[in-house]
């Protein structure tokens, strides 16, 4: 088995009779309305993939893990002329990728359920999926001739890794995302100090998650992949150069692993688009001549951005011709659709959401979740209790005119968010980032999550605690988590539940209801 890295989350796996191309994100205009660009630049790999698809006589497959545009690059897929290949997708409740490929005219589209195996001439493919509205993603395992490659990409299935390894045996090559990819804290209003503190905690805990995954999988090779992107739009350029944020590069992870995982035999080199690893001989048989030196990051990204100067200037000129108030008025019906699909789960939300179009100064939408009501107001009523989102009219217009969807919008990072108090709320997050059609099912899934009351016993600091087993965020299995600084960490999105504070989450008001089963030593002393 040979594995060619295509950049970001893209791979081309070649066996004797088959070629499986995974998540080829190769378009020159990046993703999420050109907010994200591939780092390092991998546009040259487009010609490589086109030539493989065009000329190889082997059976060809293209796997798209999920609909996020840094994985599902329809512009690139449309450049492929010879469509003599099968597309492999996870069978998600919302078949977004399948529908987008309706008239694609490839050989076949295969939909696989969670853990379903698909047999190729000389290999097999198994997909592992999460299908939960806020998160729809899949991971892929390819096995051939006693060798295997597990590509987790962004899929937060770390809690399943143990059972995957038990069931499928040794994994030779493993890859998984190690950097962040969400709008918190990137788009939120924080002081520099708070921003760095949050980013540092998120970065550290994601590195630890990656280290733990490598410890479980014990591959020969771990490839740091699926991020971080870089940002070439002048509006977003500053993110690249922040002292600390949630987008660490591979070199930082490698430094962490070198120290944290030195007891393991796995290697974790920095891999560049075009590098080829041969699993038979367990080494790289080709290294791309175009390599990025992390010390040159500033000049690399600055010169990368210079190529797009004209592109963004033209866009900006056009963007600001838009009638912002018209967009504000058009936004109403989309928000109303979202509200009508909303089912309040578990708790009433007393925090109102304000939705502002940057250029519209006098009017703001106010959403009262409890009353399911949308009104236009002129001010924020209570500065101690509110959530606010703000974005330029041109970016919102692209959603309303179906050029991008709300999940894409959230990843453009061209928004500003403020929340007081600074507490994550899953329902508000879902409302902001999901399309109206997804909100009903999302609420049902949240309700199911709140209804799960199975408990487990864990030990911390010499005492036993009874806690809820499933995470209050999206149901992650906490029995596969770990304890750090007195907090039980969920292996999915790393919420931290403080055992010293009755199991309360440090990010919000959720709790796993931790009950200490052993009398505290200080209590005993007092009793005596
Ligand atoms: S499921 Fe998301 S943090 Fe637990």
**Phi, psi dihedrals of residue 345, rounded to the nearest 5°:** -110, 135
277 lies in a domain?
Answer: yes
Among 18-22, 187-191, 196-200, 517-521, the minimum mean pLDDT is found in 517-521
Residue 525 pLDDT level (bands cut at 50, 70, 90): very low
Same structural domain, 162 and 41: yes
Has residue 201 been placed in a domain? yes
- Dihedral pair phi/psi, residue 523, rounded to 5°: -60, -45
Give pLDDT tens digits for 455-500. Answer: 999 999 999 999 999 999 999 999 999 999 999 999 999 999 999 9
Q: Looking at residues 241-256, what average pLDDT do you find?
A: 97
Structural domain includes residue 317: no
In the chain, the number of structural domains is: 3
DSSP secondary structure, 261-286, as one string: TTTS--B-----TT-EEETTTTEEEE
Q: Are residues 237 and 372 in the same domain?
A: no
The CA distance from 389 to 463, in Å, is: 43
- Residue of 369, 342, 341 whose CA lies nearest to 353: 369
- 435 and 491: one domain? no
Examine the domain organization and report whether 279 and 266 are in the same domain: yes
Same domain, residue pair 155 and 254:
yes
Last residue of a domain, one of 402, 431, 447: 447
Determine the structural domain holding residue 442 and report its residue range: 322-447
Q: How far apart are CA 419 and CA 316, in angstroms?
A: 28
Q: Indicate whether residue 407 lines ligand 1 (CB < 6 A).
A: no
Domain shared by 129 and 172, yes or no:
yes
pLDDT at res. 520 = 58
> Does residue 11 belong to any structural domain of this protein?
yes
- What percentage of residues in the chain have a pLDDT greater than 90? 94
**497 CB within 6 A, ligand 1:** no
Single out the residue in 406, 426, 447 at which a domain terminates: 447
Question: Do 187 and 199 contact (CB within 8 A), yes or no?
Answer: no
Domain boundary among 387, 416, 447: 447
Q: Indicate which CATH number applies to the domain containing 484.
A: 2.102.10.10
**Is 419's pLDDT higher than 60?**
yes
19, 13 contact by CB (below 8 A): yes
**Residues 17 and 75 both lie in one domain:** yes
What per-residue confidence (pLDDT) applies to 524? 47
**60 in ligand 1 pocket by Cβ < 6 Å?**
no
Domain shared by 131 and 25, yes or no: yes
* Domain assignment present for 215: yes
Q: How far is the CA of 276 from the centre of ligand 1 (A)?
A: 35
CATH number at residue 115: 3.60.15.10
> Is any atom of ligand 1 closer than 6 Å to the C-beta of 474?
yes
Q: Is 429's C-beta closer than 6 angstroms to any atom of ligand 1?
A: no
- Give pTM, 2 decimals: 0.94
d(CA 58, CA 56): 5
Q: Which residues of 25-36 are buried (b: 16+ CB within 10 A; e: fewer)?
A: bbbeebbbbbbb
**In this structure, is residue 316 part of a structural domain?**
no
Q: Are residues 119 and 210 in the same domain?
A: yes
DSSP, res 470? B
**Cα of 472 from ligand 1 centre, angstroms:** 7
- Which residues contact residue 182 at a Cβ distance below 8 angstroms, ignoring those fewer than 6 apart? 246, 410, 411
* Centre of ligand 1 from the C-alpha of residue 187, in Å: 21
Q: Are residues 302 and 241 in the same domain?
A: yes
* Statement to judge: residues 8 and 114 lie in one domain: yes
How many CB atoms are closer than 10 A to CB 347? Answer: 12
Residues 51 and 151 in one domain: yes
Residue nearest to atom 3 of ligand 1 (CA): 493
The CATH number covering residue 430 comes to 3.30.1050
């Amino acid at each position: 088995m040979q594995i060619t890295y295509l950049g970001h989350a893209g791979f081309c796996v070649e066996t004797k009779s088959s070629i499986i191309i995974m998540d080829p994100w190769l378009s020159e205009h990046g993703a999420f309305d050109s907010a994200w660009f591939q780092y390092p630049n991998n546009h040259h790999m487009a010609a490589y993939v086109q030539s493989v698809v065009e000329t190889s006589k082997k059976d060809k497959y293209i796997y798209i893990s999920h609909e996020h545009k840094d994985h599902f690059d329809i512009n690139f897929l449309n450049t492929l002329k010879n469509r003599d290949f099968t597309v492999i997708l996870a069978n998600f409740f919302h078949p977004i990728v399948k529908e987008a490929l309706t008239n694609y005219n490839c050989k076949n589209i295969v939909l696989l359920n969670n853990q379903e195996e698909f047999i190729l001439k000389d290999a097999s493919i198994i997909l592992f999926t999460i299908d939960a509205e806020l998160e729809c993603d899949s991971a892929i395992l390819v096995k051939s001739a006693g060798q295997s490659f597990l590509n987790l990409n962004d899929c937060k299935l770390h809690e399943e890794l143990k059972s995957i390894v038990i069931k499928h045996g040794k994994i030779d090559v493993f890859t998984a995302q190690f950097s962040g990819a969400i709008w918190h804290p990137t788009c939120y209003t924080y002081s520099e100090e708070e921003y760095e503190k949050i980013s540092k905690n998120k970065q550290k805990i994601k590195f630890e998650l990656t280290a733990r995954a490598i410890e479980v999988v014990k591959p020969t090779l771990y490839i740091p992949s699926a991020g971080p992107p870089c940002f070439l739009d002048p509006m977003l350029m500053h993110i690249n150069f922040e002292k600390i944020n949630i987008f660490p590069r591979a070199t930082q992870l490698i430094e962490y692993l070198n120290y944290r995982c030195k007891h393991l035999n796995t290697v974790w080199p920095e891999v560049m688009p075009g590098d080829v690893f041969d699993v038979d001989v367990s080494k790289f048989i080709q290294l791309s001549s175009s390599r990025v030196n992390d010390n040159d990051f500033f000049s690399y990204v600055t010169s990368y951005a210079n190529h797009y100067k004209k592109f963004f200037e033209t866009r900006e000129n056009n963007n600001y011709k838009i009638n912002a108030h018209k967009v504000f008025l058009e936004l109403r019906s989309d928000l109303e659709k979202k509200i009508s699909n909303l089912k309040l789960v578990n708790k009433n939300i007393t925090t109102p959401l304000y939705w502002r179009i940057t250029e519209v100064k006098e009017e703001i939408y106010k959403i009262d979740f409890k009353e399911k009501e949308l009104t236009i107001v002129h001010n924020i009523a209570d500065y101690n209790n509110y959530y606010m989102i703000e974005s330029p009219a041109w970016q919102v217009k692209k959603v309303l005119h179906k050029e991008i969807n709300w999940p894409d919008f959230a990843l453009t990072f061209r928004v500003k968010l403020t929340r007081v108090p600074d507490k994550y709320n899953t329902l508000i997050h879902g409302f902001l980032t999901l399309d109206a059609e997804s909100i009903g099912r999302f609420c049902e899934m949240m309700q199911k999550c709140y209804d799960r009351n199975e408990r487990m016993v864990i030990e911390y600091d010499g005492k036993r605690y009874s806690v809820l087993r499933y995470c209050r965020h999206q149901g992650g299995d906490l029995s596969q988590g770990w304890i750090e600084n007195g907090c039980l960490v969920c292996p999915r999105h790393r919420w931290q539940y403080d055992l010293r504070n009755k199991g309360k989450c440090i990010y919000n008001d959720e709790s796993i209801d931790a009950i200490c089963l052993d009398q505290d030593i200080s209590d005993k002393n007092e009793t005596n």
